[in-house]
Amino acid sequence: MNFIEIEKNICHFKNLAKNKKWAKIINFLKHKHASEASEYFQYLDLENKITVFRDLPYHFSTKVFSYFSPKQKLFFIKNLNNKELKKLLADLNPDDRTDLFESVPSKTGKKLMRLLTSEDLKETTQLLDYPEDSVGRLMTPDFLTIKPNWTIKQALKYIRKNGKNVETIDVIYVVDDNERLIDDLKIKNLLIADPQTKIKNITSHYLTKLSVFDDQEIALELIKKYNLVALPVVNEHDILVGIVTIDDLMDISDEESTEDIHKIGGLSVEEGPKGIVNVFETPLKILYRSRISWLMILVGVNIFSGAAMAFFEETIAQAVALVFFLPLLIDSGGNAGSQASTLMIRALSLGDVKVHHWAKMIGREVAVATGLGITMALGVMLIGIFRSGIDIAIVAALSMIIIVLVGSTIGMSLPFLFTKFNKDPAAASGPLVTSIADICGVLIYFYIASVYLTVT
């Protein structure tokens, strides 16, 4: 659907809502994907959101609910009665239910816990007991297993009978009598095999699996690496206890990317259970708190730049023209450092570069940064000759080469340093690199100026 069609649909929906054509609104939403239908609720008044949601077909409304933002989910939880909430919770997929409990305040979570059936309560509690960023929190226990001694015909009959309410039947899992995982089979392999063939005769015993305690990022890396739609999850006894699917991992990928971008921008990501999910919906106090900490730290760091300038006060008084080039030089060092930092953060995150590659990367960065510095120095020197004379031009050009080299080296090294101490390399953010490069730039520039001008 192109942009014009989307706009036409939005205008049509708004018109239906304005004229209170509820039956037509329900019919309109029913013919949309649940994800798309959830987006149309933003065009309804608060009271009408509840009316429309209640009138949607039961299972479809649950799917729509799973696509709402945490703030929207909380709104419906507060406005639906206990009977409606009980049905909604029972119909949610286990992983979506766990995600819901993670995103709501603890008081609301306790209220919802009381509405769960004993079976769902046990299932939800087990999932929530796993560490916060573990695969155990992300998995669903809704999957199909078959036995190695079954025939293909028996397995397909079982899948037809029991596959309706599982997360996916793209992959079927083979387990022994103790529920220990043996293999995973694509449904295609079953469909094209001879019906009388035993399952054990088409298993390879080679599979990729996860522990319930593995980090969610490991699951994301494996599903990308092997181009899978789902991954089995086992406990410490190798018993299959759940699966994670690609749709859940794509959500994690978005969250991780957002977190890294926030860190690179110097934002705190510890506010709230999901951080800054949506800048439009996030409360102002959280937006404030996410930004103020780094800004205050950087204010303290940048005080050193002023102190460095004060130390070279006599040099500045001797050649006031030096100040003309100061912003250009320190910005160049900071920008070069930010570029190097961004490249290394991404490379470390993707696994293209490891910590032990630091020495080799230093050599490569020095070569590149030297080339960049010389190129930029030539431009600065030309400006300097016409603006302030040959002496200032030489000082500025020499400073440019060294500042770009130092800034790039700092930008490249900080992510390695953070990774070495098991910290997120994205925390070696642009603002931090820029501030350190600024201080070094001021010191380098005025030191070269004081030495050169004294000699000449």
pLDDT in tens, 173-213: 999 999 999 999 999 999 999 999 999 999 987 889 999 99
CA distances from 411 to 264, 356, 426, 437 (A): 12, 17, 11, 8
Residue with the bigger pLDDT between 410 and 276: it is 410
- Percentage of the chain lying above the pLDDT 70 cut: 90
Question: Tens digits of per-residue pLDDT, 81-108?
Answer: 999 999 999 999 898 999 899 889 989 9
CA distance 430 to 451: 31
Residue 255 has pLDDT above 80, yes or no: no
Domain boundaries, the chain: 3-133, 145-250, 284-455
CATH classification of 284-455 is 1.10.357.20, yes or no? yes
What is the arithmetic mean of pLDDT over 221-244? 92
Q: Cα–Cα distance between 104 and 110 in angstroms, integer?
A: 10
Return the structure tokens found at 191. 């469909």
* 432 Cβ neighbours under 8 A, 6+ residues apart: 266, 294, 298, 301, 414
Query: Region 259-279: what's the mean pLDDT?
Result: 53
Q: What is the mean pLDDT of residues 62-70?
A: 93
Residue 276 pLDDT: 47
Lowest mean pLDDT among 140-154, 180-194, 294-308, 359-373: 294-308
Q: Which run of H or E residues covers position 201?
A: none
Name the residue with tokens 């997120």. 424
Task: Calculate the average pLDDT of the chain.
Answer: 87
CA separation for the pair 168, 93 (Å, rounded): 12
Q: Which residue has the tokens 């979506």?
A: 96
In the sheet that 145-146 helps form, which strands lie side by side, from edge to edge?
A: 145-146, 171-175, 181-186
CATH classification code of 3-133:
1.25.60.10
Question: What percent of the chain stands above pLDDT 90?
Answer: 54
- Mention every residue, 6+ apart, whose C-beta is less than 8 A from residue 363: none
- Cα–Cα–Cα angle for 90, 91, 96, rounded to 5 degrees: 95
User: Mean per-residue pLDDT for 17-46?
Assistant: 93
The top-level CATH class assigned to 145-250 is alpha beta
pLDDT in tens, 101-141: 988 998 999 999 999 999 999 999 999 999 988 999 999 99
